[in-house]
Structure formats: structure tokens, C-alpha cells
Amino acid sequence: MAATGIEGMIPYAVNFTIVASAAIYFGRKPLAKFVFQRHERAKNLVESAADTQREAKKRFEKVMRSIENSLEEVQTLLNESEAGAKAEAKEILEKAEADVAKVKADAEKIVEYERNGQLESLKQRVISRALDQAEVELHKDMNDDFHSTALKRAKTQIEANA
């Protein structure tokens, strides 16, 4: 016969209680172990993530310091290069000015030499024409002996004055 109401539920309740008690009795340790292991894994993952984050932060700071140092080094190199370039430009300019002065001095010497040569040539031509003219004039009035002697004396005096 089938019992109805609460009395019919008692066997089900007793069976449920026995099954639940057995599950709790036999499953409590494995369940606690599982929960503890899961808790430990989560804790280890959080600690590992924190360690990784700290390490990443340290690396980031190191890289940033390295970048700052590199920028300072680059600026130092640029300043040194600029100073070297200015010094080299100054040296080149001074050398060019010295070369210009030397070329100018050499040109002045050449001009002076050429001028002296032209003056000497002009003197020689003037003397030669003067002698020729004097000879022509002397020939008109003098005889050959007197003429030769006078020419030699005039030539000697002119050469001595030159």
C-alpha cells in the first residue's frame, strides 16, 4: 500500500539523509582538499602575477633610465660634434685666409719683378736711343776719333748712373 502525505515522504527523507550523510562523510575530505588546492593555485597565480608585474616594472624603469642615458649621450655627442665642426671650420677659414695672403704676396712679388724688368728694359731702350741720337748729333760735328772717344765716355757715364 502506498502511504500518502508526510508518512509517505519519510522513507524518501531517510534515504536522502543517508545518501547526503554518506556524501558528506566520504566527500568532505576530497572536497576540502580540492577547495584548498584550488585556493593555493589561485594564491600562487596571484603571487606569480604580482612578481611578474614587479619584474616588468623594474625592467621598464631600467629601460627608461637607459633611454634617458642614451638621450643624454646623444646630446653630448651632438654638442661635441658641433664644437668639432666649428673648430674645423675655423681652421679651414684661417688656412684659406693664410693661403689668400700668400697668393697675394706672391702676386705682388711677381708684379714688382715684372715692373722692375719693364723699367730696366725701358731704361735700356732710352739709353740706346739717346746714344743713337747722340751719335747722330756727334757725327755731324766731329771726326771719327773724337766721336768714338766721346761715345765711350758717354756710355760709361750713363752705365755708371744707371
CA angle (151 as vertex; 136, 160 as ends), nearest 5: 130
> Is 130 in contact with 158 (CB distance < 8 Å)?
yes
Q: Where are the domains of the chain?
A: 51-161
C-alpha cell at 62: 631600467
Helix 144-161 × helix 6-141 angle, to 10°: 150
CA distance 46 to 81: 51
CA distance 162 to 151: 16
Q: pLDDT tens across 35-91, in order?
A: 999 999 999 999 999 999 999 999 999 999 998 898 889 899 999 999 889 999 999
Quote the pTM value: 0.39
- CB-based contacts of 2: which residues, under 8 Å, 6+ apart? 8
Q: pLDDT tens across 102-155, in order?
A: 999 999 999 999 888 888 888 888 888 888 887 777 666 666 667 677 778 888
- CB-based contacts of 150: which residues, under 8 Å, 6+ apart? 138, 142
